[in-house]
A and B are shown apart, each in its own frame.
Chain A
């Protein structure tokens, strides 16, 4: 069953075309990692899925809802699409608890006791139940990102978008965030992940997509893309990445 479908998606910022005709479908329970050099349009692609960016041309469909339709009720549709950002974006004036309970209480009319129980459950899942009354600034980067994942899960989405979730982290904190994501994948979550973590893509992804210059250059299973890349640009990118690593 198709969860996310992009059809001939084009996106321009003024005169700069960032996405040049993207076709992509993600099945329920599938974990798709998008890799590629910076400026290739990976993040823009992800942001088009939940309509944080409008598309210039083409269609974006999530759970049979046409997100790219100007008449689409994106506020309702987004409840079902969790998003995790590179810079965490935890609500800085709220406790961890409130960060998690805000949307369910406001949008789903979840009662306070139920929302609190949900916060405890999700924080336990990401291993941070003792931080429930902390403020974001009291947390490390890795902890912030795990709370951000818990916050996104609080709306019980069945699709999760990750926009370079470990890129702003100190190296020693990358593992704890990836572990949470790996668990989430194992639990059957549909995930679209923009990442620079080749190890994660190799291990967890069902499919890897290599993007360059606003286009999908190559895609396949991790072993196909990493083990036997066909396109010169993919080979070139993977060589650079492995040298840097």
Chain B
């Protein structure tokens, strides 16, 4: 229960874990946002193949636990690919980044789809009546408004992604929880170590929340009262 001792002893180890957690989360947030955005547009498309692809993607990812997805990507996929490319392997980091990105992408896809649908159809009609094309209306009117609508849900999903990265410790990603386990294994400082881990997560997520609050404020200047 000696926090000072635990901090001193675990500091460098936990810090490397924290860095990995932040990096893999940032990758997943960035890549997942792109995947989710494209998937949401596909989901709203009138071309049924695109729509079906998006729906199946969201269905499969949301309907299966991420730990299973991680096992498939890390252990299953290489086995499959090895039948074509002998000796193929994937690092725990790559597998983690892929899993977390695909996972976040599915949830973000639904968030974006909901946001786009929530834009008042009158806004679209006004834009189209001026002669703006569907694509231009999407870019100028729908997306800027959809982003404002979705920010709280987006931030929520980003937070979940940061926390879910801890699940990837099971495939050996050297992130925060994984490093903490290593430290605890040698020192048996369960309480102090895991409280420290919790504080570190809280710090990262608080930073995320502060940043998002700032962005939300800037984007919503049009909503400030006169």
Chain A residues engaging chain B, CB cutoff 8 angstroms? 50, 52, 75-79, 81-83, 85, 87, 89-95, 102-103, 106-107, 134-138, 148, 151-152, 155
Cross-chain contact A103 with B132 (CB below 8 angstroms): yes
Cross-chain contact A91 with B225 (CB below 8 angstroms): no
| In the complex, B123 has a CB within 8 A of chain A | yes
Cross-chain contact A107 with B122 (CB below 8 angstroms): no
Cross-chain contact B129 with A106 (CB below 8 angstroms): no
Cα distance, A52 to B127, chains bound together (Å): 11
Cross-chain contact A103 with B122 (CB below 8 angstroms): no
B137-149 interface code vs A (CB 8 A; 1 in, 0 out): 0001100110010
Cross-chain contact A78 with B128 (CB below 8 angstroms): yes
Cross-chain contact A107 with B132 (CB below 8 angstroms): yes
CB-contact partner of A85 in B125, B133, B221, B223, under 8 A: B125
Contacts A93-B222, A102-B140 given; indicate if A78 touches B127 (C-beta within 8 A).
no
Most buried by A among B130, B222, B226: B130
Contacts A94-B222, A137-B222 given; indicate if A78 touches B145 (C-beta within 8 A).
no
CB<8 Å pairs between A and B, sample of 6:
A75-B133, A78-B131, A91-B141, A92-B123, A103-B130, A103-B131
**Residues of A contacting B129 with CB < 8 Å?**
50, 52, 78, 81-83, 85, 152
Q: Which residue on A lies nearest to B139, using beta carbons?
A: A106
Report the minimal beta-carbon distance from A14 to chain B, rounded to whole angstroms: 18
Cross-chain contact A79 with B131 (CB below 8 angstroms): yes
Cα distance, A82 to B129, chains bound together (Å): 7
**Residues of A contacting B222 with CB < 8 Å?**
92-95, 135-137
Report the minimal beta-carbon distance from B75 to chain A, rounded to whole angstroms: 47
Report the minimal beta-carbon distance from B132 to chain A, rounded to whole angstroms: 6
Cα distance, A81 to B131, chains bound together (Å): 9
Cross-chain contact B120 with A89 (CB below 8 angstroms): yes
Cross-chain contact A106 with B136 (CB below 8 angstroms): yes
Cross-chain contact A91 with B127 (CB below 8 angstroms): yes
Cross-chain contact B131 with A138 (CB below 8 angstroms): no
Most buried by B among A75, A77, A81: A75
Q: Which residue on A lies nearest to B121, using beta carbons?
A: A89
Cα distance, A10 to B140, chains bound together (Å): 33
Q: Which residue on A lies nearest to B220, using beta carbons?
A: A93
Q: How many A-B residue pairs have CB under 8 A?
A: 73
Cα distance, A155 to B140, chains bound together (Å): 17
Count of residues in B whose CB is under 8 Å from the partner chain: 24
| In the complex, B126 has a CB within 8 A of chain A | yes
Q: Which residue on A lies nearest to B134, using beta carbons?
A: A75
**Residues of A contacting B122 with CB < 8 Å?**
85, 87, 89
Report the minimal beta-carbon distance from A122 to chain B, rounded to whole angstroms: 14
Q: Which residue on B lies nearest to A95, using beta carbons?
A: B222
Cross-chain contact B226 with A152 (CB below 8 angstroms): no
**Residues of A contacting B140 with CB < 8 Å?**
102, 106
Kindly list 4 other residue pairs between chains A and B, CB separation below 8 angstroms, not including A79-B131, A85-B125, A92-B222: A75-B133, A85-B126, A89-B120, A93-B145
CB-contact partner of A138 in B126, B145, B226, under 8 A: B226
B38-55 interface code vs A (CB 8 A; 1 in, 0 out): 000000000000000000
Cα distance, A89 to B6, chains bound together (Å): 60
**Residues of A contacting B130 with CB < 8 Å?**
78-79, 102-103, 107, 151-152, 155
CB-contact partner of A91 in B126, B131, B224, under 8 A: B126
Cross-chain contact A76 with B225 (CB below 8 angstroms): no
Report the minimal beta-carbon distance from B133 to chain A, rounded to whole angstroms: 5
Cα distance, A134 to B222, chains bound together (Å): 8
Of all A-B residue pairs in the complex, the 4 with the closest CB atoms, nearest first, are A89-B126, A79-B131, A83-B129, A89-B122
Cross-chain contact A89 with B123 (CB below 8 angstroms): yes
Cα distance, A75 to B46, chains bound together (Å): 20
Cross-chain contact A137 with B125 (CB below 8 angstroms): no
Cα distance, A131 to B139, chains bound together (Å): 26
Cross-chain contact B127 with A155 (CB below 8 angstroms): no
Report the minimal beta-carbon distance from B126 to chain A, rounded to whole angstroms: 4
Cα distance, A231 to B46, chains bound together (Å): 46
CB-contact partner of B132 in A75, A82, A85, A148, under 8 A: A75
**Residues of B contacting A89 with CB < 8 Å?**
120, 122-123, 125-126
Contacts A93-B222, A137-B223 given; indicate if A52 touches B125 (C-beta within 8 A).
yes
Cα distance, A83 to B129, chains bound together (Å): 6
